[in-house]
Chain A
Amino acid sequence: MQHMLLCMANDVGTQLRKGVVEYCVLGLLQSAPTYGWKISEQLVSLGLIGSIGTLYPLLARLRDQGLIIAQADTSDSARPRKYYSLTPDGREQLRQFRAQWQPFSAAVSTIIAFDESRAQDPDASATPVKGTDQ
């Protein structure tokens, strides 16, 4: 049972990350063009992706959607890097997400907030529905 709950918790985390991690990449690119390792380092440290392997398919999707572009930077000849930056569509997409995220997260937080009065009275949430067998 405990294992099942743990699996469910992991699954919830995975599903949540899937929905927002692409916007987090757009957010990381909003101030300056950045290269793959730097993006991955920040996302991994924040627990938003498991490894840099997750990042590249995600970057490819964003590129295919025209939200980011990749440009090779050869100024450091010892370590030529590919820098990713936002397109105007990417900025607009990020703006829309930002506008919706705050009210969305506030609404969810309000609904799932820990209610002490209910927690102390477990029977209150376990009231059987009329006409159903227990």
Chain B
Amino acid sequence: MSTNDSYSAPARRYLAELESALAGVPADLRGEITADLAGELHGLDADAAAARIAELGDPRTIAADASAGAQQTSAQAAAQTTDARMPVSKAYPTAAAIVLTAGWYLVPIVGWIVGLVMIGAGSRWAPQVRVASVFASVAAALVAVAALLVFRGTEVWILGAAAFAIVPLIANVFVGGYLRRQWGLAAPV
């Protein structure tokens, strides 16, 4: 508003009512609405201002709608903050890591495969994390089996047996740790 002369009597009255109705609305929003609507009524004669006021509607309705909108904004902001602060449970990746690692020994082959399936089904891992983990675990299993077969019947067969026992353990421990760290970093699918 520059000077009162730039506003007709109906415009001044309307802006005063609007200012009063917006008292409960956050200050920045109130300032934006009054500045914009004052701009719309600026320089209009009484008839033109009255016509524009009729289109704008009751200041109390505008204030009520603005207030409801501001509450919606606050609710959305609060929900986003809550989402951001909500800790993601590590139960699933921990279980998958245990099944993958212990499954190799407790229920040979089948237990390990269940671990791989759990990795594939984990919706909170990015697809590339799942692929890399399965690939690493399968590669370790192949190395272990190859070592067992290569050294079988030789004097150093014990090395093959040791590799068969230890390589999957080391690989799956690393894969399990990686999976736990990556859990929740991708949006759920």
Residues of chain A having any CB pair with chain B under 8 Å: 18, 35-37, 41, 49-54, 56-58, 60-61, 78-82
Contact = CB atoms under 8 A, between A and B. Distances in A.
Contacts of A18: 72
Interface residues of B, number: 29
Contact of B66 (A35, A56, A81, A82): A56
A57 B28 CA distance: 10
A49 B37 CA distance: 17
Given A37-B36, A54-B68, 19 more contacts: A37-B37, A50-B65, A52-B33, A53-B33, A53-B63, A54-B66, A56-B36, A56-B69, A57-B66, A57-B69, A57-B72, A60-B32, A61-B73, A78-B6, A78-B43, A79-B40, A79-B43, A81-B36, A82-B35
A54 B33 CA distance: 10
A18 B73 CA distance: 12
Nearest to B67: A53
Interface string B98-113: 0000000000000000
A53 B62 contact: yes
Contact of A52 (B35, B43, B57, B70): B57
B187 to A, nearest CB: 15
B95 interface: no
Contacts of A82: 35-36, 39
